[in-house]
Chain A
Amino acid sequence: MDIVSDTATADFILPATSQGAEMELRGAWVSENTLPSFADMRAAFEQERAKRWQVSAAADFSWDSACMTRLFLCARHCTEHDIDFDYTAMPAGIRKLLDVANAVKPQSTNAAARPTLAQHLHAASAAIVHRITDFLGFVGAILIAFSNLLRGRANMRLRDFFYFFEQCGPQALGIVALISVLVGMILAYLGSVQLRQFGAEVYIANLVAIGAVREMGALMTAVIMAGRTGAAFAAQLGAMQANEEIDAITTLGISPVEYLVLPRMLALIAAMPLLCIFADVLCLVGGALVATGMDVSSVAFITQARGAVGFDDIMSGIIKGIVFAVLIATAGCQAGLQSGRSSAAVGQATTSAVVNAIVYLVIADAALNILYDKIGF
């Protein structure tokens, strides 16, 4: 047996001994070197077919975590297979670390068997039912909060209302203006291509006015607010959940729905009609810009638009805006309040706030259009 003096290598030998299998580790058992794997060590031990594995260190032995990992795996293998593992001949540091690592019995991770199709379906349907009951429960809580508010008993700070009104009203004007002008221009272009065939360009005004006031003003504003404000609500409330602030509010005997949701929802309900009117006007400005480029004078545009839009149309848009405000605030606050307590869960809450809000918006918009059509609004 020749002694390996080069410390850049690591290996082991099994000197012939009378009892059990003994392994002597030689060289530098450190991460930088290519070390024998646990499988190699186990194979060598198993050749001896002994009920007792013993490890010892040669004079030139040095070690780090890479070595510890292999010894730990040996120790675990021995425990699992009822083999006696003897490491008393190793350096003190190794002995201590192995003692610590083996002190706590591993938690039995009886990995759940793969769920069957039936279990999958059951879990999926249970999740849907759970989501529906969560949603209904939350809507119920909001209704209770509102009834308390009407009786003047809600725990809501007026200051919060004004703060959130500022957040979702004036602060949103810039983005709403930009989108509205562009949407107005898009509507005008869309209409002009068709109307020019009949020489009826002046009716661009009617198309833009009706389209903006009855539909696009409210819907586009709502989409912006879902992404801007709904997501912010979910992120704020989710972070408060993670930070145990919501627990604190609850245990102080204050309803989180009254204290946190009401001011946000009321602020959004107050801001949305105003934003809708603002969006309508800028939509028309956008349409007028395009129309004047197509030989429709701005005076003609305004006259046409005034004739096309009645008070009913404006109200129908504003009612939509209010409904959308309720839906956005509901989606955002529900996602936030029912969020998990980790940063990943807060991210999910924000995502579901926006996705749910947009789904609610489109469904509600379709439903309102059908309703308006039936009652001739």
Chain B
Amino acid sequence: MSSAIKEGDVHIEVRGVTLQYGERVIQHDLNFPIYRGDVFVIMGGSGCGKSTLLKHMIGLQQPAAGEILIDGENFFTAAPEQQLAMRRRWGITYQSGGLFSDLTLAENVAVPLQQYTKLTAAEIRDTIAYKLALVGLAGFEEFYPAEISGGMQKRAALARAIALDPELLFFDEPSAGLDPLSSQRLDELILQIRESMGGTVVIVTHELASIFAIATNSVYLDAETKTQLDYGAPRELLQHSEHEIVRTFLSRGEAPGDQP
């Protein structure tokens, strides 16, 4: 593996993890760290288990083997209060937004604030105004998710995800279904938010433009061998990965070097 050896503080550690649906193995023997402050991309072809891995990281599914340590702690063996405390530090956006369709955007962003903070109604209203402005949705407080476009839904979901200033942000296919410009805007937004608030970002994507624009580190999951093929910074992998399939993936089949 041509992994770039990085110094730093490990935020998430994936140790010998196997992902399974029933008897069907999705991925096995995953081993890699995610360092604090990284924009870490989980990449790979469609159906290789990227989103499944994310679902395991955020505690929705338990690995069939191995463990995922976040801040040195395994979510599934933690005490219930500890799990709650861990969840409070995470912000997550889902593939299709995951906004509550019976709540307005303001009410959607208010849910985590009401759940975890003791802010007054007025403070919550102000915080919502700020968070929505941050994602470019100022003035859309009273809209329902069904009344806005897909790109706006993704941004509204981001506003809800950053409501509690999470130190760990998870994105499942943030730019899927967005036009290149909106997707670029979203990438910039993610970067800006991470830069100013600190924290680690984990993104599941197969959009090359996003991968090269924002990722500082990445892992490639292979659908054939059902395990991680390579780990390292995407640009590094594009040039020097020993696996042809990784180089091909990153250069979209063209000769390496064509990509910026």
Q: Quick check: is A175 within 8 A (CB to CB) of the other chain?
A: no
Number of interface residues of A (CB under 8 A): 33
Across the interface, B133 reaches (CB within 8 A) one of A94, A102, A342, namely: A102
Q: Quick check: is A97 within 8 A (CB to CB) of the other chain?
A: yes
Chain A residues with Cβ under 8 A from B129's Cβ?
69, 72-73, 76
Using known A-B contacts A97-B192, A97-B196, A106-B139, determine if residue A31 contacts B130 with beta carbons closer than 8 Å.
no
Q: Quick check: is B64 within 8 A (CB to CB) of the other chain?
A: no
The interface bits of chain B over 129-148 (1 if a CB of A lies within 8 angstroms of the residue's CB, else 0) are: 11101101111111011100
Q: Quick check: is B101 within 8 A (CB to CB) of the other chain?
A: yes
Within 158-208 of B, Cβ neighbours of A (below 8 Å) are at 162, 165, 189, 192-193, 195-197
The interface bits of chain A over 324-347 (1 if a CB of B lies within 8 angstroms of the residue's CB, else 0) are: 000000000000000011111100
* Complex Cα gap A31–B88 (Å): 14
Using known A-B contacts A104-B138, A105-B138, determine if residue A73 contacts B146 with beta carbons closer than 8 Å.
no
Chain B residues with Cβ under 8 A from A251's Cβ?
none
Across the interface, A65 reaches (CB within 8 A) one of B127, B133, B146, B189, namely: B127
Chain B residues with Cβ under 8 A from A93's Cβ?
195-197
Across the interface, B134 reaches (CB within 8 A) one of A100, A107, A108, namely: A100
* Complex Cα gap A31–B141 (Å): 22
Contact A100 B102 (CB under 8 A): no
Contact B102 A64 (CB under 8 A): no
Interface residue SS majority, chain A: helix
Nearest Cβ on chain A to B33's Cβ, whole angstroms: 26
Using known A-B contacts A31-B117, A73-B126, A104-B133, determine if residue A94 contacts B196 with beta carbons closer than 8 Å.
yes
By CB atoms of chain A within 10 A, which of B129, B141, B144 has the most?
Answer: B129
Q: Quick check: is A121 within 8 A (CB to CB) of the other chain?
A: no
Q: Quick check: is A57 within 8 A (CB to CB) of the other chain?
A: no
Which residue in chain B gives the minimum CB-CB distance to A108? B139
Contact B195 A72 (CB under 8 A): no
Chain A residues with Cβ under 8 A from B102's Cβ?
342-344
Contact B145 A342 (CB under 8 A): yes
The interface bits of chain A over 71-113 (1 if a CB of B lies within 8 angstroms of the residue's CB, else 0) are: 0110010000000000000001110110011111111110100
Chain B residues with Cβ under 8 A from A146's Cβ?
none
Chain B residues with Cβ under 8 A from A69's Cβ?
123, 126-127, 129-130
* Complex Cα gap A100–B144 (Å): 23
* Complex Cα gap A108–B139 (Å): 6
Contact A68 B138 (CB under 8 A): no
The interface bits of chain B over 57-94 (1 if a CB of A lies within 8 angstroms of the residue's CB, else 0) are: 00000000000000000000000000000000000000
Q: Which residues of B pack against A, CB within 8 Å?
A: 101-102, 117, 119, 123, 126-127, 129-131, 133-134, 136-142, 144-146, 162, 165, 189, 192-193, 195-197
Q: Which residues of A pack against B, CB within 8 Å?
A: 31, 38, 64-66, 68-70, 72-73, 76, 92-94, 96-97, 100-109, 111, 340-345
